A and B are shown apart, each in its own frame.
Chain A
């Protein structure tokens, strides 16, 4: 093969991989689930115990951020329930005997700072968008993970168009 032919082939190969990379970057994939300080199981709480999301994510319908539950919320039930489960025991030990340090739950859905987006839960709850629309069937997950990358703006805009919500940039980016 001539040097020029090889060069051309390399160039084509490079452009193809660059295109593939660009396309991959266009619609971001769900991020991997972060490791939590205590293995919390959504399935047990939501499916088995039939708890509402807002029981722990207190701001999901009324605030900008749904929020991760403070330890008092967990302890409210677990002071009486689940004392035979190892992870509950670990939690109560931390809650009662800890140095007042809150449990550092790690957020599963993190909006990248560079997007400069101010997502607000409240207007979505008012428009009766269910949690599962963006978060998937979290209630059946043993380990909470993203089903949709929250940084995928195409997803947001598609829904806003369909539901005739505002697609003005300033609505979210400010």
Chain B
């Protein structure tokens, strides 16, 4: 069985935010403008958190990219009254836009605050509408959305593999954030495959998960403490 997972090496992350830009472009995420962003309505499926260690001038900045953790026991799933969010057999926390009625219970129950509500109809001023990714739906107002682990890329790779009558190879699927990371801090793969790179990382002593004490069993693993 496949269980998609991601490893983020925070010791490598430089906080450049290329992943955020790539994610916006890949997943047709709308921008809401300065005023609405000030009201907390900005949407970023992946964000970079900053932490400061020490006092100036002996200060060190640490970065942590945070996106949907694709929890094994996702707090967002049981609270949805219309089953718009559920768990796929491949371990993804799926979001079915067409089912969503916008109660926002899921976002309220997410301890990682990585779910976003479309307060407005998407507006991609010319010529931005030409760069929309045809493999990803443009979400309308009143719908929740979040990181999908680039499910369209997963399906694309599975499609190619099926054509060639083989399994998907480790490293063949790269999410937009992982592909664009200049420090190669983000690795994507199958956690159930003991040979995969993500599994190797997951077994190391540096591996941690976000808010592990909540028992949400995230599929995103953070590497921390090497330097």
Residues of A in contact with B (beta carbons under 8 Å apart): 64, 113-118, 120, 122-123, 126, 168-171, 173-174
Total count of chain B residues near the partner, CB < 8 A: 23
Is B185's beta carbon under 8 Å from chain A?
Answer: no
B94 pairs with A170, CB closer than 8 A: yes
Query: Which residue of B is nearest A122, CB measured?
Result: B159
Is B148's beta carbon under 8 Å from chain A?
Answer: yes
A114 pairs with B140, CB closer than 8 A: yes
CB distance from A65 to the nearest CB of B (A): 9
In the bound complex, residues from chain A placing their C-beta under 8 Å from that of B92 are 170
Query: Which residue of B is nearest A123, CB measured?
Result: B159
In the complex, per-residue mask of B95-119: 1 if CB is within 8 Å of any chain A CB, else 0? 0111100000000000000000000
A118 pairs with B135, CB closer than 8 A: yes
The 7 closest A-B pairs by CB, nearest first: A116-B137, A116-B97, A169-B96, A170-B94, A116-B98, A174-B151, A173-B96
CB distance from A67 to the nearest CB of B (A): 13
Q: How far is the CA of A152 from the CA of B134 in the complex (A)?
A: 22
Q: How far is the CA of A173 from the CA of B145 in the complex (A)?
A: 13
Q: How far is the CA of A174 from the CA of B159 in the complex (A)?
A: 16
In the bound complex, residues from chain B placing their C-beta under 8 Å from that of A122 are 159
Query: Which residue of A is nearest B90, CB measured?
Result: A168
Q: How far is the CA of A169 from the CA of B94 in the complex (A)?
A: 8
B163 pairs with A173, CB closer than 8 A: no
